[in-house]
Amino acid sequence: MKEKTKLFYLVVIYLIAYFMPWGHPTIRQSGLEAFMMLQEYAREHVLTCLIPAFFIAGAISVFVSQASILKYFGAQAKKILAYSVASVSGTVLAVCSCTVLPLFAGIYTRGAGIGPATAFLYSGPAINVLAITLTAKILGWQLGLARAVGAIFFAVITGVLMAFIFRKDDAARTAGQIYVPDEEDTGRSLLQDGLYLLTMVLILVFAAFARPSAGSVGIWPAIFAAKWYITACLLVVLAWMLKAWFSKDECVSWVDSTWGFMKQIFPLLFGGVIIAGFLLGRPGHPALIPEHYIQSLLGGNSVWANLFASLAGALMYFATLTEVPILQGLIGAGMGKGPALALLLAGPALSLPNMLVIAGVMGVKKTATFCGIIVVLSTIAGMIFGTIAG
């Protein structure tokens, strides 16, 4: 961060502390809600959800080569393979709407088709493994699943539509291949890497396993009762894998990558939770913005509510994971489930700064079409989900 930017933030914080009328009952209540929401995150989500997810993201970053993903976008790649890889690349790359831009510019200018390239551009931030995990944990598995499935379908549909609309322009571009260096032999098989990642995913699943509702019968209460025993066994298995399959340098790289994600995301999430709590409060607890404002704009499942949520998400910049606490506050204030999904599908993949950069890479016309497709698809998906979820 540049020194001028640091100074700017310090001045803003100072002015807020100096001029904020903390004696006003509403402001005081909003400030309390901000820290109550932060405490809720610290107690319920950090150790059992975020920490395992950070280690998974760090492992993906170190042990899954980005080069092996990007090489499938070349001009000679099969379309089915290219779109399949592009649509799930976010689970591997775990980037935000601004971090994905240099990767997109690189593959597009080196000859990747506009279809796979824009599918990748949407997928990169939209299917962030950390964001999907936190969405399911905090906002419910239905919204988390709808976000993951919707984002994958959106990536493919957006890419196919862009390729069809601009097929003549795409054909006129110089075809080329992306140079990908040979990958180093780690001495592990694909199966071993897969089992290593699967073990960490299972640790995340069982550590974050929520208490079943009262009166539940069957396997779920039994799993909840045994969750920490299962988690402990999985940790022992993970420790054995690390000792037997990975070198010390690889383990150090994994920890360094995980720490890098934590340093980048935790301060942003901390700030996002504080701001969301101050403005919107926890579900059932009012804060600065009156609930009836949210209900009038984003309540229900109308076309307008879903379109407004999609447009707002497309124009706003959400730092990684901060959309989750913001939506938690909005839903608690009366936002409908459909508009919530619409914002989740449009928000992380687009932002005004992101649009300006994309326009510089592939032109204003293509950028406007790309953004328009995402806003329309998000609106439709929100209405469908809102109808199904009731």
Residue 76 pLDDT more than 60? no
Residue 233 pLDDT more than 90? yes
Residue 110, pLDDT score: 61
End-to-end alpha carbon distance in the chain: 44
Residue 179 pLDDT more than 80? no
The dihedral of CA 229, 231, 237, 240: what is its sign?
Answer: negative
- Residue 238 corresponds to which amino acid? L
Q: Which tokens in the block code for residue 374?
A: 């995402």
Q: How far apart are CA 86 and CA 283, in angstroms?
A: 36
Q: How far apart are CA 74 and CA 113, in angstroms?
A: 7
Ranges 42-46, 75-79, 327-331: which has the least confidence? 75-79
Q: How far apart are CA 287 and CA 350, in angstroms?
A: 28
> What contacts 49, CB < 8 A, 6 or more positions away?
133, 134, 137, 204, 207, 208
Residue 364 pLDDT more than 80? yes
The closest of 86, 170, 155 to 122, measured between CA atoms, is 155
Q: Which residue has the higher pLDDT, 116 or 216?
A: 116
pLDDT band at 172 (very low <50, low <70, confident <90, very high): low
Place of tokens 């601004």: 98
Residue 92, pLDDT score: 57
Residue 384, pLDDT score: 93
Residue 182 pLDDT more than 60? no
Residue 215, pLDDT score: 62
Residue 373, pLDDT score: 94
Residue 239 pLDDT more than 80? yes
Read off the pLDDT of residues 138-169 as tens digits, 9 standing for 90 and up: 888 888 888 888 888 888 899 899 988 988 87
Q: How far apart are CA 133 and CA 128, in angstroms?
A: 9
Q: How far apart are CA 76 and CA 389, in angstroms?
A: 42
Read off the pLDDT of residues 90-146 as tens digits, 9 standing for 90 and up: 665 555 555 566 667 766 766 667 888 888 888 877 777 767 777 888 888 888 888
Residue 258, pLDDT score: 85
Ranges 22-31, 201-210, 301-310: which has the least confidence? 201-210
3-state secondary structure the chain: CCHHHHHHHHHHHHHHHHHCCCCCHHHHHHHHHHHHHHHHHHHHHHHHHHHHHHHHHHHHHHHCCHHHHHHHHCCCCCHHHHHHHHHCCHHHHCCCCCCHHHHHHHHHHCCCCHHHHHHHHHHHHHCCHHHHHHHHHHHCHHHHHHHHHHHHHHHHHHHHHHHHHCHHHHHHCCCCCCCCCCCCCCCCCHHHHHHHHHHHHHHHHHHCCCCCCCCCCCHHHHHHHHHHHHHHHHHHHHHHHHHHHCCHHHHHHHHHHHHHHHHHHHHHHHHHHHHHHHHHCCCCCCCCCCHHHHHHHHCCCCHHHHHHHHHHHHHCCCCCCCHHHHHHHHHHCCCCHHHHHHHHHHCCCCCHHHHHHHHHHHCHHHHHHHHHHHHHHHHHHHHHHHHHHC
Q: Which residue has the higher pLDDT, 124 or 372?
A: 372
Residue 14 pLDDT more than 80? yes
Residue 86 pLDDT more than 70? yes
The dihedral of CA 337, 99, 198, 41: what is its sign?
Answer: negative
Most confident of 11-25, 176-190, 292-306, 314-328: 11-25
Residue 197, pLDDT score: 84
Q: How far apart are CA 203 and CA 231, in angstroms?
A: 6
Q: How far apart are CA 60 and CA 204, in angstroms?
A: 15
Residue 109, pLDDT score: 66
The closest of 94, 86, 89 to 55, measured between CA atoms, is 94
Phi-psi region of 339 (alpha: psi -120 to 50; beta: other; left: phi over 0): alpha
> What contacts 273, CB < 8 A, 6 or more positions away?
34, 37, 38, 41, 325
Average pLDDT estimate for 271-287: 77
